């Protein structure tokens, strides 16, 4: 049990050495970097899926350029909505 007590005192000394602000900052940095990487692809993916949707509908109904144009813009709208939604989620996380 002597070993355990020694470990706990060493832990306490080590904990005191860590500055609280430094420790906190590190966690949020990684999370925000993850968010930054996340948000950029969300826009592109929705545009891609929308255009693909339009392309498939075009080849079904034989209305060559129209559906793909319409669904491109719908995809853009969906992408922007995705970005707004994740930005709102990020805001909520910061406030809490």
Partner 1 sequence: MSTNPMHQFEVYRVGPEINISGINLSFTNASFFMLISSLLILLMLFLGTKKKLLIPTKMQLMTEMSYTFVAKMINDTAGSNAKPFFPFIFTLFMFVLFCNMVGMLPYSFTVTSHIIVTFILASLVFVGVTIIGFIKHGIKYLELFVPKGVPVVLLPLIVIIEIISYLSRPVSLSVRLFANMMAGHTMLKVFGGFVISLGLLGGWLPLGFSVALIGLEILVAFLQAYVFAILTCIYLNDALNLHH
Using CB under 8 A, list all residues that contact partner 1: 3-4, 7, 30, 33-34, 37-38, 41-42, 44-46, 48-50, 53, 71, 74-75, 77-79, 81-82, 85, 89
Report the residue number, 50 or 68, with the smaller CB distance to partner 1.
50
Q: Specify the DSSP element, H or E, that contains 96.
A: none
In whole angstroms, how close is the CB of 24 to partner 1 at the nearest point? 15
Q: What are phi and psi of 52, to 5 degrees?
A: -65, -40
CB of 62 to partner 1, least distance (A): 21
Instruction: Report d(CA 41, CA 86) in Å as an integer.
Output: 12
Pairwise CA distance, residues 41 & 71, whole Å: 18
Name the minimum Å distance from CB 11 to partner 1: 10
36 versus 64: smaller Cβ distance to partner 1 = 36
Helix, strand, coil % in the chain, rounded to nearest 5? 95, 0, 5
């Amino acid at each position: 049990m002597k070993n355990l007590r020694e470990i706990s005192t060493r832990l306490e000394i080590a904990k005191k050495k860590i500055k609280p602000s430094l420790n906190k900052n590190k966690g949020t940095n990684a999370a925000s970097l993850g968010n930054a990487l996340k948000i950029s692809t969300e826009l592109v993916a929705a545009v891609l899926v929308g255009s693909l949707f339009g392309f498939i509908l075009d080849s079904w109904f034989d209305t060559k350029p129209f559906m793909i144009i319409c669904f491109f813009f719908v995809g853009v709208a969906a992408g922007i909505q995705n970005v707004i939604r994740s930005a709102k989620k990020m805001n909520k996380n910061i406030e809490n």
